[in-house]
Amino acid sequence: MKLKTILVLALAAALMLTGCHKASAEDENTQGSGAGETVVETAGEEAAEPEEPALPMMETSLDDYPLSTPTDDILVLVNKTHPVTRDYVAPDLVTVASCDNSVGNADTKKMRKVAADAIEELIAGAKDAGYNIVMRTGYRSYDYQDYLFNSYAASYGEEEANTYSARPGQSEHQTGWCCDVGRPGYGLTSFDGTAEAAWVADNCWRYGFILRYPADKTDITGYIYESWHIRYVGLEVAKYIYDNGLTLEEYLGILD
């Protein structure tokens, strides 16, 4: 065989061997975790983390205070710095059947429909757990709160009264979203330290309520601890507030 022919054959063999190696390397680079899958990567990109669903917030504008127009905002804030006017009357008020008839008047036995249904469920839940609880007062008009506050102020002084009783217009009872609970036949403050109060504190969130004035949050809420005062905020928000030990003011981020 001539030398020229031998060189041509050798070159061809070398080219074939190089092509085999290249094809093998390309096959390896296109192999994914499963057969036949091709992995496509983009430099500098990271997998996006799923966004957490946003929790409900107050819909009422802070510019609207003092409120005079009723709102369906379940999280509407009413306190010493965010008042309502005498004209504010909670809509869709209904009478709560499981109430203490010896306290208040016909209006104070009412709550907003959603909250009224929820308090009936809470009272039924307490009964199933072996506790007898009733609603004492729910909705209070501006004038009724005016009467209450002035009565306390006349007996104990205005400054002391304002630590546990709201001035007219500053009580969230006027929104129809809250109520006081207690044991039938007992006074309001006698609820403190009872097994019923402990059950309410531990379980009211299951029905969409929060303990509105916790013992260690007086500097935020402006009121002393009230084991009996619960506020409807809805199931999702109630669980979040309970789990994180917050007040409504802290949850909303409105602390002024």
Sign of CA dihedral 233, 239, 240, 246: positive
Sign of CA dihedral 227, 232, 237, 238: positive
Structure tokens at 58: 């107050």
Number of other CB atoms surrounding residue 94 within 10 Å: 17
d(CA 201, CA 229): 10
Number of other CB atoms surrounding residue 126 within 10 Å: 21
Rg (CA), the chain: 33
Residues annotated as catalytic (active site), given as ranges: 226
Q: Which residues of 68-90 are buried (b: 16+ CB within 10 A; e: fewer)?
A: eebbeebbbbbbeebbbeeebbb
